[in-house]
């Protein structure tokens, strides 16, 4: 069964600091990869996704993530965080099986990011 690991439970940064949140998954086949974000009091929403092609994907609000297949990783980055980036970030994986059921998302436990002004 596939699994997703997010290494940091809680990250605290000051504004303008650089951010990198780790995500590793375990699955040997084809995967789609996602980062979702939940801002305080808001819905879980899609931040960015990787399906194929350029392994460096850009999302909303200046976020980007790099898919490194050899490391089974999909780390999220932002060069300069803002106070408004305070949120919980979830990495998720969608895998393809032979039966064609490609809808299931497996989530990591999430990383709470606190950005201090």
Partner 1 sequence: SAVISQKPSRDICQRGTSLTIQCQVDSQVTMMFWYRQQPGQSLTLIATANQGSEATYESGFVIDKFPISRPNLTFSTLTVSNMSPEDSSIYLCSVGPGMGTQYFGPGTRLLVL
The length of the chain in residues reads 117
Q: Which of 36, 37, 22 lies closest to 84 in space, CA to CA?
A: 37
74 binds partner 1 (CB under 8 A): no
Query: Which one of 25, 34, 67, 74 is in contact with partner 1 (CB under 8 A)?
Result: 34
112 binds partner 1 (CB under 8 A): no
109 binds partner 1 (CB under 8 A): yes
116 binds partner 1 (CB under 8 A): no
Q: In the bound complex, what is the minimum distance in angstroms from residue 84's beta carbon to partner 1?
A: 20
Q: Which of 51, 79, 50, 47 lies closest to 60 in space, CA to CA?
A: 47
**What is the C-alpha separation between 115 and 46, in angstroms, rounded?**
20
49 binds partner 1 (CB under 8 A): yes
């Amino acid at each position: 069964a596939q699994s997703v690991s997010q290494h940091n439970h809680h990250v605290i940064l000051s504004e303008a600091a650089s951010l990198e949140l780790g995500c590793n998954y375990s699955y040997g086949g084809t995967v789609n990869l996602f980062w979702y974000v939940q801002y305080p009091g808001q819905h879980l929403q899609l931040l960015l996704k990787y399906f194929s092609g350029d392994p460096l994907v850009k999302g909303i609000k200046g976020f980007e993530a790099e898919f490194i297949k050899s490391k089974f990783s999909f780390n999220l980055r932002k060069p300069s965080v803002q106070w408004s980036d305070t949120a919980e970030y979830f990495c998720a994986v969608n895998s393809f099986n032979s039966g064609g059921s490609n809808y299931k998302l497996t989530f990591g436990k999430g990383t709470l990011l606190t950005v201090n002004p």
